[in-house]
């Protein structure tokens, strides 16, 4: 018996060794097809995700990824980042590094991983953390392999599967499998996925699997659609779900909004001293808009934003009384506090869930799910709805900025939660109106005095700089944007104007050396001094992505230049007028006596345009680029 056991053990060890040898090397780079190396920095050899839903409070996700890093630019794409908090725990992490031949170089040690906060320095209370790891290997190409297992105690948050997570990554093979009880209704939606998933049933569980392979690199296209609209993506969503002791549904947006409302119901009760302050601030004011403005200003002056996320606190707000006592709160808490003050003043308002960020203008509107990362406040009115960004201490009441403008959002209400749309700031709002008076001497030096009014989305960046940077840092950024070779800024001053749409007046005095080119008795001069827009777009007959232009704008330049005495025009640029589906461009130069006048007007339209329109966009930009840099010639009399 002992001999038979020894022989059995021997056969087992031999079999195991043969399996190991048969799989060695495991991930040779030479096995990657040329089509997956083209225009890529990394190749995702395998992205295998297995999600098992045991019940509403127990979800396991096993993630197995193998990534080949082709060059230095791809190194950051091969980092391991695993998030965890009170809702998600990390159960295991393993990893390995392989050389170009696919041979093992080293394995991940638990002591090599860093444990860090998953939010920025503006946080006060948070359990959002992450485990980080990177193999710092500089012999390219190489391959990393990571496998992780996490457990979530809520079905409210379902992962989205998008193996191609950047345009310079290619995917050799990917698989998503979701296993769940037969009596559980799993919702899913695919984008750009060819075919149908495979569904099987076994012992009371359903299994659904999606597979993809051979995804080549995406092109680096200007004004592209959002990434999930360009590559296969699978969205998962709950029906019934549970979070803490709270239960809800997510089948419709109304269901989801009702859950958020109930989760935060009763947390808008103000302490007596703040109730008295609200009455003090608003008594005697008849205008609804003025009451909103006054209370919003009080919020901004007496409270600051700090991220607070602790377990269910990532979804449930701190109550209004705690914000009043502490003087701080996160986006949920500050919006709820402002809502409570408006309620005390007799004005109804609603918290709104939003996917924030510049360019983040879309949701899967047909697929109710947790797609949001921020909360703002909406004060509805038949004639004039007011929107409030309660985390900002500087924005005027009623203005949202590029961070949350022009996108579908979920209004949270006791009876009628629904998707609505944040304001679209059109061309008349987003203006840059510039007046330039300049004097040029016979040596080509120029003295410039400029006054510019920036409004709407065109003032957002300047507004941020004014409130966050020193004058020196502001000037440093300004200098990088001036198309002048040698100059000194002798005066720089900005004033925020009291206008319905926020606007900033910028005054700028510049002394430039050798602005105009002097050759013999001629002077060569570009009349467009400060607003040379346009970029050179390369033709692309195979463009695939729609053209996504986020906002409309209008730029108007009025330039007056006093020319040196004794010169007359030898040649002037011809007037340019172009009209396209993307906008229009007009520019003209005239000279009377020794005074040159230059007028330039550009109107850019927003929207989603088909890829087939790209040649027209190339032509439109090329026209602007040439016209903005057109020179005139003066000759000495």
Partners of 178 in the beta sheet? 51, 208
Residue ranges of the domains in the chain?
Answer: 29-224, 252-421, 431-636
Predicted confidence at residue 507, as pLDDT, reads: 98
Average pLDDT across the chain, whole number:
91
- Of 117-121, 217-221, 247-251, 551-555, the one with minimum mean pLDDT is 117-121
Residue 124 clears pLDDT 70, i.e. is over it: no
Tell me: the pLDDT tens digits for 227-255?
Answer: 989 999 999 998 999 988 899 999 999 99
Asked if residue 242 lies in contact with residue 87, where contact means CB atoms within 8 angstroms, the answer is: no
The larger pLDDT score, comparing residue 637 to residue 93, is at 93
* Neighbour tally for 468: CB within 10 Å: 10
Helix-helix angle 331-344:272-282, to 10 degrees = 60
544 confidence band (pLDDT: 50, 70, 90): very high
Q: How far apart are CA 140 and CA 172, in angstroms?
A: 19
Residue 319 is encoded by which pair of tokens? 């109550």
Question: What kind of architecture, by CATH, is found in domain 252-421?
Answer: Roll (3.10)
Tell me: the pLDDT tens digits for 23-61?
Answer: 456 889 999 999 999 999 999 999 999 999 999 999 999
Cα–Cα separations (whole angstroms), residue 356 to 175, 322, 330, 424, 637: 30, 25, 14, 14, 60
Residue 100 clears pLDDT 90, i.e. is over it: yes
* Neighbour tally for 575: CB within 10 Å: 12
Domain 431-636 has CATH 2.60.450.10: no
Partners of 496 in the beta sheet? 504
Q: Which CATH number fits domain 29-224: 2.40.128.20, 3.30.1540.20, 2.40.10.120, 2.60.40.3140?
A: 2.60.40.3140
Tell me: the pLDDT tens digits for 407-427?
Answer: 999 999 999 999 999 999 999
Among 180-194, 240-254, 423-437, which range has the highest average pLDDT? Answer: 423-437
Tell me: the pLDDT tens digits for 458-484?
Answer: 999 999 999 999 999 999 999 888 888
Element at 139 (helix H, strand E)? none
Q: Mean per-residue pLDDT for 555-572?
A: 96
Q: How far apart are CA 100 and CA 25, in angstroms?
A: 10
Tell me: the pLDDT tens digits for 371-381?
Answer: 999 999 999 99
Predicted confidence at residue 460, as pLDDT, reads: 97
Predicted confidence at residue 97, as pLDDT, reads: 96
Q: How far apart are CA 406 and CA 387, in angstroms?
A: 12
Predicted confidence at residue 230, as pLDDT, reads: 94
DSSP string, 453-488: EEEGGGGHHHHHHHHHS-HHHHHHHHHHT---SSEE
């Amino acid at each position: 018996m002992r001999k038979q056991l020894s022989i059995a053990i021997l056969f087992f060890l031999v079999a195991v060794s043969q399996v190991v040898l048969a799989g060695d090397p495991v991930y040779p780079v030479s096995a990657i097809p040329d089509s997956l190396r083209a225009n890529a920095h990394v190749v995702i050899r395998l992205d295998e995700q297995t999600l098992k839903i045991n019940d509403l409070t127990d979800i396991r996700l096993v993630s197995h990824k193998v990534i080949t890093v082709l060059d230095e630019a791809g190194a950051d794409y091969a980092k391991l980042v695993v998030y965890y908090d009170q809702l998600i725990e990390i159960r295991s992490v393993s990893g390995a590094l392989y050389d170009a031949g696919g041979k093992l170089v080293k394995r991940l040690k638990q002591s090599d991983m860093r444990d860090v906060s998953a939010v920025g320095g503006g946080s006060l209370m948070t359990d959002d953390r992450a485990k980080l790891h990177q193999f710092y290997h500089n012999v390219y190409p190489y391959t990393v392999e990571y496998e992780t297992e996490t457990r979530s105690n809520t079905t409210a948050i379902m992962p989205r599967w998008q193996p191609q997570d950047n345009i310079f990554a290619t995917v050799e093979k990917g698989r998503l499998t979701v296993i769940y009880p037969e009596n559980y209704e799993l919702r899913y939606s695919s984008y750009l996925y060819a075919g149908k998933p495979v569904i099987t049933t076994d012992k009371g569980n359903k299994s659904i699997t999606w597979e993809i392979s051979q995804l080549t690199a995406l092109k680096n296209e200007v004004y592209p659609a959002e990434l999930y609209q360009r590559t296969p993506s699978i969205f998962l969503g709950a029906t019934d779900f549970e979070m803490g002791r709270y239960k809800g549904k997510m089948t419709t947006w109304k269901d989801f909004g009702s859950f958020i409302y109930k989760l935060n119901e009763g947390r808008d009760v103000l302490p007596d001293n703040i109730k008295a302050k609200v009455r003090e601030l608003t008594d005697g004011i008849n205008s609804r808009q003025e009451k909103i403005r006054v209370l919003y200003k009080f919020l901004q002056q007496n409270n600051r934003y700090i991220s607070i996320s602790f377990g269910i606190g990532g979804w449930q707000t701190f109550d209004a009384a705690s914000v009043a006592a502490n003087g701080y709160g996160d986006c949920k808490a500050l919006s709820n506090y402002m809502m409570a003050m408006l309620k005390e003043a007799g004005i109804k308002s609603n918290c709104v869930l939003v996917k924030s960020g510049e360019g983040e203008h879309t949701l899967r509107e047909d697929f109710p799910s947790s797609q949001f990362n921020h909360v703002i406040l909406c004060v509805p009115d038949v004639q004039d709805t007011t929107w409030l960004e309660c985390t900002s201490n500087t924005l005027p009441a009623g203005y949202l900025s590029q961070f949350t403008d022009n996108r579908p959002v979920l209004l949270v209400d006791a009876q009628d939660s629904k998707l609505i749309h944040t304001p679209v700031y059109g061309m008349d709002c987003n203006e840059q109106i510039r007046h330039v008076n300049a004097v040029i001497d016979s040596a080509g030096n120029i003295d410039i005095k400029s006054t510019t009014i920036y409004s709407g989305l065109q003032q957002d960046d300047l507004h941020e700089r004014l409130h966050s940077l020193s004058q020196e840092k502001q000037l440093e950024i300004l200098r990088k944007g001036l198309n002048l070779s040698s100059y000194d800024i002798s005066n720089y001053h900005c004033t925020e104007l009291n206008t319905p749409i926020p606007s900033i007046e910028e005054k700028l005095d510049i002394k430039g050396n050798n602005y105009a080119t002097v050759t013999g008795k001629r002077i060569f001069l570009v009349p467009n001094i400060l607003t040379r827009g346009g970029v050179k777009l390369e033709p692309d007959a195979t463009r695939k992505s729609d053209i996504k232009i986020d906002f409309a704008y209008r730029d108007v330049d009025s330039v007056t230049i006093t020319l040196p005495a004794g010169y007359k025009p030898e040649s002037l640029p011809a007037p340019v007028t172009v009209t396209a589906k993307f906008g229009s461009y007009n520019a003209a130069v005239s000279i009377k006596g020794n005074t040159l006048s230059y007028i330039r007007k550009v109107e850019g339209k927003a929207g989603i345009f088909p890829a087939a329109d790209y040649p027209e966009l190339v032509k439109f930009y090329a026209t602007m680029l040439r016209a903005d840099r057109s020179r005139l010639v003066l000759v000495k009399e």
